[in-house]
């Protein structure tokens, strides 16, 4: 009977030891699970937060790139518009300059008789005083006269003034100092004039025709070695 109690006691002690071991093991497992859950979950949250931060950074960078691209596009458009405006301005300036040069050239031609001359025979081939004869692309000199035209040979008349201007245009003589030696009739609405420089170093005979509304137009110039006045 004593042995039976001893056995029961020994068995109960073993069971208690096993239960204690199991409780300790269970408690340790719970601690391990809690540690895994705590540290593992926090890491995931931290990683998730880091990922969200990276995505936000990426979005911000993309926005900056878009803004930079937009600014670059606007700058390129502005630069192109400026270059186009400069080119148009340069073209306009060039056209204006060309027109001005052409106008000045025409004016200079009228003042200096700078026209294309074509050699021709003198009106009187037997005239020994004629040293050269030529025609040119001379325009009418212009006129202030209106209505039907009848040549007025009177000294100081509008015809005499305009004839002198036309003669100066094709000979290159200075109209202010030019000497008019003769103005005569050369046919219907046609005249000729003999003019010289102030020192008589140059003398010309100029033939002109009247163009209605446009004035006297030179048709031929003869260079003379001396002043020749018709008898």
SS (H, E, C) the chain: CHHHHHHHHHHHHHHHHHHHHHHHHHHHHHHHHHHHHHHHHHHHHHHHHHHHHHHHHHHHHHHHHHHHHHHHHHHHHHHHHHHHHHHHHHHHHHHHHHHHHHHHHHHHHHHHCCCCEEECCCCCCCCCCEEEEEEECCCCCCCCCCCCCCCCCCCCCHHHHHHHHHHHHHHCCCCCCCEEEEEEEEECCEEEEEEECCCCCCEEEEEEEEECCCEEEEEEEEEECCCCCCC
pLDDT tens for each residue of the chain, 231 residues long: 555 655 666 666 666 777 778 887 787 888 888 878 777 654 455 555 545 555 444 544 445 555 555 556 666 667 677 777 777 766 666 665 655 554 454 454 444 445 678 888 776 655 678 999 999 999 999 999 998 999 999 999 999 999 999 999 999 999 999 999 999 999 999 999 999 999 999 999 999 999 999 999 999 999 999 998 887
**The predicted structure's pLDDT at residue 39:** 77
Strand partners, 217: 209
Contact 216, 163 (CB under 8 A): yes
**The predicted structure's pLDDT at residue 105:** 46
**The predicted structure's pLDDT at residue 202:** 97
**The predicted structure's pLDDT at residue 179:** 97
**Global pTM?**
0.52
Structure token pair of residue 216: 């006297």
Strand partners, 184: 192
**The predicted structure's pLDDT at residue 11:** 64
Contact 211, 198 (CB under 8 A): no
Structure token pair of residue 165: 């201007």
């Amino acid at each position: 009977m004593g042995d039976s109690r001893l056995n029961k006691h020994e068995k109960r002690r073993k069971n208690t030891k096993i239960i204690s071991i199991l409780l300790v093991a269970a408690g340790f497992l719970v601690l391990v699970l809690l540690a895994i859950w705590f540290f593992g979950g926090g890491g995931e949250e931290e990683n998730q937060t880091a990922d969200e931060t990276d995505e936000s950074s990426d979005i911000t960078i993309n926005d900056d790139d878009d803004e930079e691209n937009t600014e670059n596009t606007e700058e390129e458009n502005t630069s192109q518009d400026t270059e186009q405006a400069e080119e148009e301005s340069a073209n306009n300036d060039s056209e204006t300059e060309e027109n001005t040069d052409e106008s000045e050239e025409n004016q200079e031609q009228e003042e200096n008789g700078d026209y294309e001359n074509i050699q021709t025979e003198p009106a009187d081939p037997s005239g020994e005083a004629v040293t050269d004869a030529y025609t040119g692309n001379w325009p009418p000199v212009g006129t202030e006269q209106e209505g039907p035209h009848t040549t007025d040979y009177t000294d100081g008349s509008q015809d005499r003034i305009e004839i002198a201007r036309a003669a100066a245009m094709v000979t290159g003589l200075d109209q202010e100092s030019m000497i008019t030696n003769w103005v005569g009739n050369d046919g219907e609405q046609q005249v000729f004039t003999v003019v010289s420089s102030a020192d008589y170093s140059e003398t010309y005979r100029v033939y002109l025709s009247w163009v209605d509304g446009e004035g006297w137009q030179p048709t031929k110039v003869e260079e003379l070695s001396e002043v020749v006045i018709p008898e």
